[in-house]
Chains A and B, each alone.
Chain A
Amino acid sequence: MSERNPLLRWDYVVAQRHTIIAAVIEHVQLTLLTVVLGLAVAGVLAAVALRWGRARPTIGAATAALYTIPSVAFFGLLVPSTGLTRTTALIPLVAYTLVVLVNAILDGLDQVPPAVDEAAEAIGLSPLRRLLGVRLPLAVPVIVSGLRVATVTTVGLVTLAAIVGQGGLGRLILDGLRRAFWTPLTIGALLSILLALVLDAAFVLLERRIAPWSVRRPASRAGAA
């Protein structure tokens, strides 16, 4: 049995390479789409929280509550209304990113040193200019950290979207489980783990480049305080 069904059969991988590549592409697409949509929605929510400070706790609690809905339940709840579609996959996936992204945006803006914003106001920058020219650029590193968490988490959850017929590599995994044929399972699982780690590493590199201004000079820290 194990001869016929090893963990990985290379001849199968070669034969099915187009399916596998298509699965990777679909996985990446779904991940990116989720994060982009998530960032857009989070941006709107963050803007609302900024404009109406009283809404902030509500937005925080709501996004946190969304995050605690078990993924299986979330996908399952949507199937009767939206079917086995990409929409069914996207709604929970986007919802899960919100808590991280909204907080990343707001925390990023919050950690801008008060003196910097105060100076920006005092020398005559308009509120919009202050937000777009000063606070937002300074929030970018924190927002990118949030994107990193959201992206990596999403890669894993996309795998699970296979239960509603979506989710690229997850479908290979489920296919392998259903047929008890290990090659698609192994390849799907390994590639999704690899994808998560690669994207994580890519973000690490991005984070290093994103803030050329935060030069690491211990001596200057005291002066800047």
Chain B
Amino acid sequence: MTDASRPAVQLLAVSKHFPDSVAPAVEHLTLAVPRGAVVALIGPSGCGKTTSLRLINRLIDPTSGHVEVDGRDTRQLDPIALRLGIGYVIQAVGLFPHRTIAQNIAVVPRALGWDRGRTRRRVSELAELVGLEQEQLGRFPDELSGGQQQRVGVARALAADPPILLMDEPFGAVDPVVRARLQQELLELQARVHKTIVLVTHDLDEALTVADRVALLDRGGRLAQYAEPDELLRAPAEEFVTEFLGPDRSLRRLALLTVDALQLRRGAAVAVGTSTHDARALLARDGGDWIGVLDDERFLGWVRGTALAGEGSVTEQGLEAPAALVGPRSTLRAAMDRIMTARTATAVVVDEGRFLGIVTLEDIRRALAERAG
């Protein structure tokens, strides 16, 4: 019923002036949110990111320009119906304190006139989805921790299975540890539900972690750059973006790039039983001090070049266990951290026991440089 190539949400030359302020809150903003994408709106305070979000479900109406949801101009739609079709999560959670968790989640289905049975099934399904215990459904919001309340907020937003989810600083009210966990949960959730999510945040790391695309707004609601996180970090479009991203842009990129995005080298590695002669030759070509020993595809350990003197073959004896092990989904930042912590030069990349290659600091440096385009 919907055209997959058409943006789920589109802001077209939208401006918003509030009567009590001279400067516009949002100025001529054009932004397309692709279907199924997570888009983060970020920027300094006063950049109109929350205003932009609220324009989407007509909590406020634009002064000029127009907003399209699913290709339809929102001004042609009844605001209540529009909002019921769009999930919304706010920073303060805003659960109804006089309703149980189940009743909170059921608010939108009830408003849409679902019958009790269907609503109840949906509520318990959502509890499962966001990781709430069934027995918590009968409790009141005040009985739950901040993180749990936030999960309920997400469940409430997802209740009627809306294709679009708006989140206004969804994790702003919880402590950093819980926040990181909730962000991870959101990513896992998104992998299952494939919503179009527009998320407002002031936390750059959150935007970079969670979003497929980041819209960086400058004061007055001017769109400074709209790009994928890596591109934003790699190629800031202007001075303001560079400044906003801060001096540790490269480090932040390391957190985005994963090991499997590198061209992994096998490095100096030989199978058990290889003659020491061949091993020495390989090591000489490689120029290192250590050589990896494999059993089939399993990485057994390192052996020092000087231990390969004389004739014979490489055995499993006397191997040193790898100090730095990383997986293909590890970030380059994690890989670098392992290397530094282990005081070694090389991290071994292993996927479920299978040897994939090695990563050195030089590889990481080159990866950043290559992608700097």
B-contacting residues of A (Cβ < 8 Å)? 113-126, 129, 134, 137-138, 211-215, 217, 219-225
Contact = CB atoms under 8 A, between A and B. Distances in A.
A212 B140 contact: yes
Nearest to A116: B94
18 contacts: A113-B92, A115-B94, A116-B97, A118-B94, A119-B88, A122-B90, A123-B87, A123-B108, A123-B156, A124-B82, A124-B83, A125-B111, A220-B142, A223-B144, A223-B147, A224-B141, A224-B146, A225-B173
Contacts of B140: 212-215
Interface string B87-127: 11011111111110000000110010000000000000000
Given A124-B80, A124-B84, A213-B141, A223 B149 contact: yes
A75 B85 CA distance: 58
Given A123-B156, A124-B111, A223-B147, 13 more contacts: A113-B97, A115-B92, A119-B90, A119-B153, A121-B83, A122-B54, A123-B83, A123-B157, A138-B97, A213-B98, A220-B144, A223-B149, A224-B146
A148 to B, nearest CB: 20
B337 interface: no
B90 A115 contact: yes
Contact of A215 (B92, B94, B107, B142): B142
Nearest to A137: B98
Contacts of B88: 119, 122-123
Interface size class of B (residues with CB under 8 A): 35 or more
A211 B98 contact: yes
B90 A124 contact: no
Given A124-B81, A126-B80, A134-B96, A118 B141 contact: no
B76 to A, nearest CB: 17
Contact of B93 (A115, A124, A221): A115
A123 B57 CA distance: 9
Contacts of A138: 96-98
A121 B149 CA distance: 18
A13 to B, nearest CB: 47
B342 interface: no
Contacts of B5: none
B98 A124 contact: no
A122 B57 contact: yes
B201 to A, nearest CB: 17
A214 B139 CA distance: 11
Contacts of A122: 54, 57, 59, 83, 88, 90, 94, 166
- The residue among B81, B86, B142, B147 with the most chain A CB atoms within 10 A of its own CB is B142
Contacts of B91: 115
Given A116-B95, A118-B94, A213-B98, A224 B84 contact: no
Contacts of B59: 121-122
Contact of B142 (A123, A125, A129, A213): A213
A71 B228 CA distance: 74
A150 B81 CA distance: 41
Contacts of A123: 83-84, 87-88, 107-108, 156-157
A118 B168 CA distance: 11
Most chain B beta carbons < 10 A, residue from A125, A138, A212 = A125
A212 to B, nearest CB: 7
Contacts of A114: 92
Contacts of B93: 115, 119
Contacts of A220: 142-145
Which of A118, A124, A211, A222 has the most CB atoms of chain B within a 10 A radius of its CB? A124
